[in-house]
A and B are shown apart, each in its own frame.
Chain A
Amino acid sequence: MENKVKVCVENLNVHYGEKQALFDVCMDINQNEITALIGPSGCGKSTFLRCLNRMNDVIDICKVEGSIKIDGQNIYDKDIQVEKLRERVGMVFQKPNPFPKSIFENVAYGPRIHGLAKDKTELEEIVHTSLKKAAIFDEVKDRLDETGTSLSGGQQQRLCIARAISVNPDVILMDEPCSALDPIATAKIEALMEDLKKEYTIIIVTHSMQQAARVSKKTGFFHLGNLIEVNDTETIFSTPANDKTLDYVTGRFG
Chain B
Amino acid sequence: MNSNSLKISNENLKRRLNAERRFKFYGVIAISLALIFVLILFTNIISKGYSAFYRTLIEIKIEFNDKVQPEMFKQMSDTEINKLDLYSFSKKNIYSNFPDIEKKSDKKKIIKLFSIEFEEEIKIYINKNKNNLGNTINLYISASDDIDQIHKGNYSRDIPEERRRVSNFQLSIYDELVGQNKVKFEFNLPFFSRGDSREAELAGLGGSLIGSFFTMIIVLLLSFPFGLFGAIYLEEFSKRNRFTDFIEININNLAAVPSIVFGLLGLGILLNTFELPRSTALVGGITLSLMTLPTIIIATRASLRSVPPSIREGALAVGASKVQTVMHHVVPLALPGSITGTIIGIARALGETAPLLLIGMVAFIVDVPSSPLDPSTSLPVQAYLWNDSAERAYEEKTSAAIIILLSFLILFNLIAVFIRRKFETKW
B-contacting residues of A (Cβ < 8 Å)? 53, 55, 58, 60, 83-87, 90-91, 93, 95, 97-100, 109-110, 113-114, 160, 163-164, 166-167
B319 at the interface (CB under 8 A from A): yes
Q: Which of A83, A99, A166 touches B311 (beta carbons < 8 Å)?
A: A99
A167 touches B319 (CB 8 A): yes
Shortest CB–CB separation between residue A138 and chain B, in angstroms? Answer: 23
Shortest CB–CB separation between residue A88 and chain B, in angstroms? Answer: 9
A86 touches B313 (CB 8 A): no
A99 touches B329 (CB 8 A): yes
B239 at the interface (CB under 8 A from A): yes
Ranked nearest first, the 4 interchain pairs of A and B with the lowest CB-CB distance are: A110-B318, A97-B310, A91-B317, A87-B319
Number of interface residues of B (CB under 8 A): 20
Taking A86-B316, A109-B315, A113-B328 as given, write out 6 further A-B residue pairs in contact, using a Cβ cutoff of 8 Å, ordered by the A residue number.
Answer: A58-B316, A60-B240, A87-B319, A90-B317, A91-B313, A166-B318
B318 touches A167 (CB 8 A): yes
B317 touches A55 (CB 8 A): yes
Main secondary structure of the interface of B (DSSP, over half): helix
B314 touches A98 (CB 8 A): yes
Q: Which of B315, B316, B321 touches A99 (beta carbons < 8 Å)?
A: B315
B97 at the interface (CB under 8 A from A): no
A-B contact pairs, 29 of them (CB 8 A): A53-B317, A55-B317, A60-B239, A60-B240, A83-B319, A86-B317, A87-B318, A87-B319, A91-B317, A93-B313, A95-B310, A97-B310, A97-B311, A99-B311, A99-B315, A99-B329, A100-B425, A109-B318, A109-B320, A110-B318, A110-B320, A113-B319, A113-B320, A113-B328, A163-B314, A163-B318, A164-B318, A166-B318, A167-B318
Q: Smallest CB-CB separation from A105: which chain B residue?
A: B328
Number of inter-chain CB pairs below 8 Å:
62
User: Which of A84, A91, A99, A114 is packed against the most chain B CB atoms within 10 Å?
Assistant: A99
Quick one: CB contact mask for B291-313 with A, threshold 8 Å, 1 for yes? Answer: 00000000000000000101111
Q: Smallest CB-CB separation from B310: which chain A residue?
A: A97
Q: How distant is the Cα of A40 from the Cα of B161 in the complex, in angstroms?
A: 96
A109 touches B328 (CB 8 A): yes
B299-357 at interface with A (beta carbon < 8 Å) = 308, 310-321, 324, 328-329, 333
A160 touches B333 (CB 8 A): no
Shortest CB–CB separation between residue A163 and chain B, in angstroms? Answer: 6
Q: How distant is the Cα of A180 from the Cα of B329 in the complex, in angstroms?
A: 23
Residues in chain A near residue B324, CB distance under 8 A: 113
B313 touches A97 (CB 8 A): yes
Q: How distant is the Cα of A110 from the Cα of B324 in the complex, in angstroms?
A: 11
Q: How distant is the Cα of A98 from the Cα of B321 in the complex, in angstroms?
A: 18
Residues in chain A near residue B310, CB distance under 8 A: 93, 95, 97
A93 touches B314 (CB 8 A): yes
User: Which of B240, B324, B328 is packed against the most chain A CB atoms within 10 Å?
Assistant: B328
Shortest CB–CB separation between residue A195 and chain B, in angstroms? Answer: 20
User: Which of B318, B324, B328 is packed against the most chain A CB atoms within 10 Å?
Assistant: B318
Shortest CB–CB separation between residue B62 and chain A, in angstroms? Answer: 69
Q: How distant is the Cα of A99 from the Cα of B318 in the complex, in angstroms?
A: 12
Q: How distant is the Cα of A93 from the Cα of B312 in the complex, in angstroms?
A: 12
Q: How distant is the Cα of A114 from the Cα of B321 in the complex, in angstroms?
A: 10
User: Which of A58, A90, A166 is packed against the most chain B CB atoms within 10 Å?
Assistant: A58
Q: Smallest CB-CB separation from A92: which chain B residue?
A: B317
Q: How distant is the Cα of A137 from the Cα of B324 in the complex, in angstroms?
A: 27
B2-29 at interface with A (beta carbon < 8 Å) = none
Residues in chain A near residue B321, CB distance under 8 A: 83
Residues in chain A near residue B312, CB distance under 8 A: 58
Residues in chain B near residue A58, CB distance under 8 A: 312, 316
A160 touches B314 (CB 8 A): yes
Quick one: CB contact mask for B347-380 with A, threshold 8 Å, 1 for yes? Answer: 0000000000000000000000000000000000
Residues in chain B near residue A99, CB distance under 8 A: 311, 314-315, 329
Question: Would A97 and B318 be within 8 Å (CB), given that A60-B239, A60-B240, A109-B328 are in contact?
Answer: no
Q: How distant is the Cα of A245 from the Cα of B290 in the complex, in angstroms?
A: 62
Q: How distant is the Cα of A156 from the Cα of B241 in the complex, in angstroms?
A: 38
Residues in chain A near residue B308, CB distance under 8 A: 97
Residues in chain A near residue B239, CB distance under 8 A: 60
Residues in chain B near residue A164, CB distance under 8 A: 317-318
B319 touches A110 (CB 8 A): yes
Q: How distant is the Cα of A87 from the Cα of B316 in the complex, in angstroms?
A: 10
A86 touches B240 (CB 8 A): no
Question: Would A114 and B319 be within 8 Å (CB), given that A93-B313, A97-B314, A100-B333 are in contact?
Answer: yes
Q: How distant is the Cα of A87 from the Cα of B333 in the complex, in angstroms?
A: 24
Shortest CB–CB separation between residue A104 and chain B, in angstroms? Answer: 15
Q: How distant is the Cα of A143 from the Cα of B239 in the complex, in angstroms?
A: 41
Residues in chain A near residue B425, CB distance under 8 A: 100
Shortest CB–CB separation between residue B178 and chain A, in angstroms? Answer: 67
Q: How distant is the Cα of A84 from the Cα of B310 in the complex, in angstroms?
A: 20
B313 touches A55 (CB 8 A): yes
Shortest CB–CB separation between residue A50 and chain B, in angstroms? Answer: 9
Q: Smallest CB-CB separation from A54: which chain B residue?
A: B316
Q: How distant is the Cα of A95 from the Cα of B318 in the complex, in angstroms?
A: 16
Residues in chain A near residue B317, CB distance under 8 A: 53, 55, 86, 90-91, 93, 164
B109-155 at interface with A (beta carbon < 8 Å) = none
Q: Smallest CB-CB separation from A107: which chain B residue?
A: B318
Residues in chain B near residue A166, CB distance under 8 A: 318
Shortest CB–CB separation between residue A54 and chain B, in angstroms? Answer: 9
A84 touches B314 (CB 8 A): no
Q: How distant is the Cα of A58 from the Cα of B240 in the complex, in angstroms?
A: 12
